[in-house]
Amino acid sequence: MKKPDFRKEDFFAYWGWNRAWYTDSDIHFEGADYHFILKDVRAQDRPTKFGLDPYFHPLKVSIPQTNWRIGYYLSDHWSISLGQDHMKYVMQNDQLVDINGYIDLNGVWDGVYANESIVLTQDFLLFEHTDGLNYFNVEIRRFDPMMSVNFLDMTFGVVEGFGMGFLYPRTSTTLMDFESIDEWHVAGYGVSFMVGVELSFLKHFFLQTELKSGYINMPDILTNPAGADRASQSFWFLQNNYVFGGRWRLNFNKDS
């Protein structure tokens, strides 16, 4: 039998880590003397090897792929929250892709390309959102308790949610013979949805695992610190998140 799970007016916060997967994407590069598209580029995340350092080191906790969120329960079931999904996106070098467009830089890559193949060597392109692919978002979530036990006041429940926000990546790019860049920049937007399971205990603490998917569109990615050169791309992502957190209420006169 389910016990009542009173959450209205509770605040909550959590911290945790993720793995991420991305669909292939077309990446557009444009500058004064070039404009080309790389088709169906593959990328993957870059998880940090698990250990007390850096996962629990107070000065290094932002190095792994992390998630944080803080929110407020509008009712016993519905909450609104603000969070960050700190993913890492690494284009895979030495893959063979098609290129369309032109390059006119008086260099070895000059030419007009029409569905021609090119190997993405490090001399041609390094392209990463590794500090990171930062998705700041607002979410509306619903929690439904499914089962409760008296031991440690544990409650097992299901969480579903929808969110949207902006992308603030720190993109590390070296394109052909241009100077490298590694700067934070608001590059676009994202929308996402999630489903998860939560185990709460001792009334104020919880563990949660989430499966989150969404669409990212970044039309304004910095690629050259000296000019107006830009890249753009869009893709779908899938995250598996593992988080832990707590709930509290500022009005202590109410029953907890």
The pLDDT of residue 204? 93
Q: In this predicted model, which residue has the larger pLDDT, 52 or 77?
A: 77
Residue 252 has pLDDT above 80, yes or no: no
Residue 5 located in a structural domain: no
What integer pLDDT is reported at residue 51 of this predicted model?
A: 86
23-67 confidence digits (pLDDT tens):
999 999 999 999 999 999 999 999 998 888 888 888 888 889 999
Residue 1 lies in a domain: no
Which tokens belong to 252? 């202590």
As a whole number of angstroms, the distance between CA 89 and CA 232 comes to 14
Contacts 24+ apart (CB under 8 A), 23-28: 23/235, 23/236, 23/237, 24/235, 25/233, 25/234, 25/235, 26/233, 27/91, 27/127, 27/231, 27/232, 27/233, 28/231, 28/232, 28/233
Residues 225-233 have a mean pLDDT of: 91
- Assigned domain for 100 exists: yes
CA distance 38 to 28: 7
Does any domain span residue 92? yes
pLDDT at 253: 56
Backbone angles phi, psi at 29, to 5 degrees: -120, 130
Give which of 230, 185, 248, 174 is closest to 37, Cα–Cα: 230
Q: What is the mean pLDDT of the chain?
A: 94
The predicted pLDDT at position 256 comes to 46
Distance CA 249, CA 173 (A): 45
**How many of the other CB atoms lie within 10 Å of CB of 214?**
21
Return the closest-CA partner of residue 2 out of 139, 146, 211, 122.
146
The answer to whether position 3 is within a domain reads: no
Q: Residue 108 class from Cβ within 10 Å (0-12 exposed, 13-18 middle, 19+ buried)? A: exposed
Share of the chain above pLDDT 70, in %: 96
Residue 55 is assigned to a structural domain of this protein: yes
Tell me whether residue 28 is in a domain. Answer: yes
Give the pLDDT score at 227.
79
pLDDT attached to residue 61: 84
Rounded Cα gap, residues 96 and 38, in angstroms: 10
> pTM for the whole thing?
0.93
Answer yes or no: are the C-beta atoms of 54 and 61 closer than 8 Å. Answer: yes
The pLDDT tens digits for 120-173 are: 999 999 999 999 999 999 999 999 999 999 999 999 999 999 999 999 999 999
The pLDDT assigned to 225 comes to: 87
- What does the alpha-carbon distance between residue 92 and residue 54 come to, in Å, rounded to a whole number? 25
- How wide is the angle at C-alpha 206 spanned by C-alphas 203 and 207, nearest 5°? 160
Query: What's the pLDDT at 60?
Result: 85
Domains in the chain, number: 1
Q: List, in sequence order, the alpha helices (H) in 41-143.
A: 52-55
d(CA 174, CA 149): 55
Burial class (CB in 10 A: 0-12, 13-18, 19+), 46: middle
Residue 253 lies inside a defined structural domain of this protein = no
Structural domain of 200? 11-248
pLDDT of residue 5: 80
